[in-house]
Amino acid sequence: MNSKACSIPESCAEVEADLKKLDRMLQAAHRSSIDIKNSYDFYVLALKEFNKENLADSYIYYDRAKYELTSAINEAKFKIKGSSFHSLRTLSYFFKLYGLYAVIFGTLSTLFFSYLIYRYAEVSILEVPLWAAFFAGLGSSAQILTGVADDLRRDGLATRYKRLWYMAIPLLSMIFGYMAYLLFSSGLIAFNANSQTRTFSTMFVCFLTGFLTNWLINRLSQISRDL
């Protein structure tokens, strides 16, 4: 038996991180219509002991809460002749927990904008080529996939891309990409390069603008609050 896996964390930070992760797991299970009552009761006890700085008792309740959550997930599975199979509820739980909805949307969005670049790159609106908006959309799709990957690498589950709001990112990024092209084509930012190099540079800027859409939304929201 791995003794390290059975050891109780020695610091508040470790226990707090475990409790926060469990909280996100319980939220995902609850939104997937899985009965988490027993698990949630032990989670509340773990929080109470943590607030009292009783780390050992807090971790014991946390461990029991995880056990009850696992049992609830297993109960939500289909049982056929002694074998268990995932149900719509358990699949929904894992999709929410690991950001798989965002992964699917980000992948489809990537394919969609790649097709638009290939098929309609030469089309222009007010002398602005649509590939500027499409490359920004491609960048925002990469942002969604990168965000999920970063969450999974750091926390083991998705924390930022769990809800439907991220579906608006590619639409907003197309607007930002369009404006980025106007900014660079206006001559306010000069490139000492030939026409082909300038075009590739603008494509990269539009892609980068799309990738930074979430950051731009935060900055613009902060500016609007300060006005």
Query: Averaged in consecutive runs of 10 residues, what is the pLDDT profile of the chain (227 residues)?
Result: 52 86 93 94 94 90 95 92 87 91 93 94 86 94 92 85 79 92 70 66 91 87 76
Claim to verify: residue 61 and residue 112 sit in the same structural domain: no
Residue range(s) defining the domain that contains residue 179: 99-226
Q: Give the pLDDT score at 126.
A: 83
Cβ(201)–Cβ(189) below 8 Å: no
CA distance 42 to 52: 15
Question: pTM of the prediction?
Answer: 0.80
Q: Give the pLDDT score at 10.
A: 64
Asked if the structure places residue 141 within a domain, the reply is yes
Claim to verify: residue 72 and residue 105 sit in the same structural domain: no
Q: Give the pLDDT score at 1.
A: 38
Asked if the structure places residue 22 within a domain, the reply is yes
